[in-house]
Amino acid sequence: MARDLIHLELMAFPDVEEALRNGYTTVLVPCGAVEQHGPHLPLCMDADHAERLSVVLAGRMGDALIAPTIKVGCSSHHLTFAGTISLHNETFEAICRDYCLSLARHGFKRILFFSGHIGNFPVLRDMLPRLQASVGGLCAVDAFVNSETWLSAWRSAVASAGGDPDKVGGHADIAETSLMMEIRRESVRHERFAPGHLGTPTQEQLALIWRDGISSVTENGILGDPRGATQAIGVSCLGAIVDLLMSSFSRR
């Protein structure tokens, strides 16, 4: 099998059969979102991020294929900003379950979900036991859902690349802006850079975000500060999250 043939949607079915025979029994399911990312980033940020992570992660694993990215996620807290599209939690779970049922039927032994959109994490955490039960022991299903570890990895990566880790807030900040400078450079509107909500949101503010939307905490939709973003920081952040996912999935 050609090593560059790792995306299921680009393969013919004999290619997939051959890959399975050759030990490619892990399949990655990148999840994203189509939601506002401040005035300076495109709505595709999280889906693009998840897709790039999947390619690097598959290369590191050496025995994984990549399922089509689930581009739209659970983004109801961003709907006050124009263009955001959000799935109900139940809809997102139904899509994930149908992915699992299809992939398990074909003989994949590990199905690994991860998300470029941190807002999907609690939904994935809640549905994971039901996804695991849905395949009836035919394969293992896992998901990365630790947002605190993810943000900590970003802060370390930003600092190691010469940026200010205090500008990491988790949404359209120095980390995500730098990532898009690496992934889709032409989409970044540098002239629109502005700080958003600075500092770690309190529990009360997080509750407000989930109840009333992110605009209740930040008028421009940003958590953190994009100023100081660089492509080098984006490369560092990408590598840090791949390391995190590799470590997490290899322990299970």
The three-state DSSP-derived secondary structure of 101-136 is: HHHHHHCCCEEEEEECCHHHHHHHHHHHHHHHHHCC
pLDDT tens digit string along 101-118? 999 999 999 999 999 999
pLDDT at 217 over 70: yes
Q: CA–CA separation, 48 vs 91, rounded Å? A: 21
Report the percent of the chain where pLDDT is more than 90: 92
Confidence of residue 98 (pLDDT cuts 50, 70, 90): very high
Confidence of residue 203 (pLDDT cuts 50, 70, 90): confident
pLDDT of residue 96 exceeding 80, the answer is yes
SS3 21: helix
Asked if residue 209 lies in contact with residue 79, where contact means CB atoms within 8 angstroms, the answer is no
pLDDT at position 201? 82
Mean pLDDT score across all residues of the chain = 96
Encoded tokens for 115? 């998300």
**By percentage, how much of the chain surpasses pLDDT 70?**
98
- C-beta of residue 35 within 8 angstroms of C-beta of residue 117: yes
**pLDDT computed for residue 131 by the predictor:** 98
Q: What is the CATH number of domain 8-250?
A: 3.40.50.10310
State residue 4's pLDDT score. Answer: 65
- Number of other residues whose CB lies within 10 A of the CB of residue 190: 11
Cα separation, 42 vs 67, whole angstroms: 23
* pLDDT attached to residue 9: 96
Beta strand 110-115 pairing with 140-143: parallel
Residue 98 burial (10 A CB sphere; 0-12, 13-18, 19+): exposed
Q: Residue type at 166? A: D
Cα 204 from chain centre: 25
Would you give the DSSP letter of residue 41?
A: B
Q: How confident is the model at residue 240 (pLDDT cuts 50, 70, 90)?
A: very high
- Average pLDDT, integer, range 219-228: 97
E-assigned strand segments in 25-99: 26-31, 64-66
What's the average model confidence in pLDDT over 216-240? 97
Residues 238-244: what's their mean pLDDT? 98
Provide the pLDDT for residue 1. 47
Mean pLDDT lowest for which of 68-72, 141-145, 202-206? Answer: 202-206
Taking the model in full, what pTM does it have? 0.96
The two structure tokens encoding residue 228: 């100081």
Using one digit for the tens of pLDDT, what is the confidence trace for 60-88?
A: 999 999 999 999 999 999 999 999 999 99
Average pLDDT over every residue of 139-166: 97
